[in-house]
Structure 1
Amino acid sequence: MVAAHETTLRELLEGAKQYRVPLYQRTYSWTDSQLGRLWEDIRKLAEERAEDPSLTHFIGSLVLASSPTHGPSVSEFLVVDGQQRLTTLSILLCAIRDHRAKHEDPDHRDRIDQEYLINKYKPAHRLKLVPTQADRAAYEACLEATPQAGGSDQVGAAYRFFAAQLVAVDDPDDPMDIERIEDAVISGMALVSVVAQAGDNVYRIFESLNNTGLKLTQADLLRNYLFMRLPNRGEAVYDSLWFPLQTQLDSGELEQLFWLDLVHRNPEVKQTDTYTGQQARLDGLHTEAEIEAEVRRFCRLGTLLRVILHPKEEEDPEVRRRLTRLNAWDTTTVYPLLLHLLDRRQQGTATSEQIASAMLYVESYFVRRLLIGRATASINRILLRIVTDMRADLPVDEAVRAYLSVGRKYFATDASIREAVRSIPFYLNGRATQRKLVLQWLEESYGSKEPVAADSLTIEHVMPQSPTTEWRKALSEDLQGEESFAEVHEALVHTLGNLTLTGYNAELSNSSFLVKRVQLGKSGISLSRDIADQKRWGRPEIHARADTLAERIIAHWPGPTEEAGNRSEVPWDVMNKALAALPAGAWTAYGDVAALIGSHPMPVGVRLASHPAPNAHRVLQTEGTLSPNFRWLDPSRKDDPHDLLRAEGVEFDKYGRASQSQRIGVEELAQLAGMPQQDASGQLLRPRSSHNNALDDRFLEQLTDLQDAQVAHATVAVLEAWTDTGGMLLYGTGGETSCFLMARGKDHELGNIWPATIYPSGKFEIVFQHLSTRTPFDDIALRQEFRRRLNELPGVTIAAAKLALRPGFPLDVLVNATARQALIEHLGWFYRQVHPGA
Structure 2
Amino acid sequence: MKATSANLLTVINGPKQFVIPIYQRTYSWQLTQCRQLFQDILKTGNDKTDAGHFVGSVVYFQESIYNTSSVPQLLIIDGQQRITTVCLIILALSEFLKEKPEDVDIETNHSKLRNYYLFNAEEEGELHYKLLLTRKDKETYISLLNDHPQPDNPSQRILENYRHFKENINSTNVNALYNGIMKLFVVDVTLEKGKDNPQLIFESMNSTGLDLSQADLIRNYILMGQEIKTQTRLYEKYWFPMEQGYGNDYAAYFDRFVRDYLSAKTGTIPNITSVYTAFKTYSNGLLIEDLVAEITTYAAFYANMALHKEKDKELLAAFENLSTLRIDVGYPFLLAIYNDYDQGIINKEIFQQVLALIENYVFRRAICGVPTNSLNKTFLTLYKFIDKSNYFESLAATMQLFAGSKRFPSDTEFIREIKVKDLYKFRSRTYFLSKLENHRRKEWVSIAEYTTEHIIPQNEDLSLEWQQMLGENWKDIQNTWLHTLGNLTLTGYNSELSDHSFQKKKTIEGGFNHSPLNLNQYLRSVDEWNDYHIQKRAEQLAETASMIWKYPGITAEELTKYAERERAGSNEYSLDHYEYLTDETLLLFNELRKSILNLDEAVKEEFKKLYIAYKTSTNFVDVVPQKTSLRLSFNMPFSELIDPENLCKDITDLGRWGNGDVEFRVSSPADIPKAIGFIQQALDYQDLY
TM range (shorter): 0.3 to 0.5
TM-score, scaled relative to structure 2: 0.46
Larger radius of gyration: 2
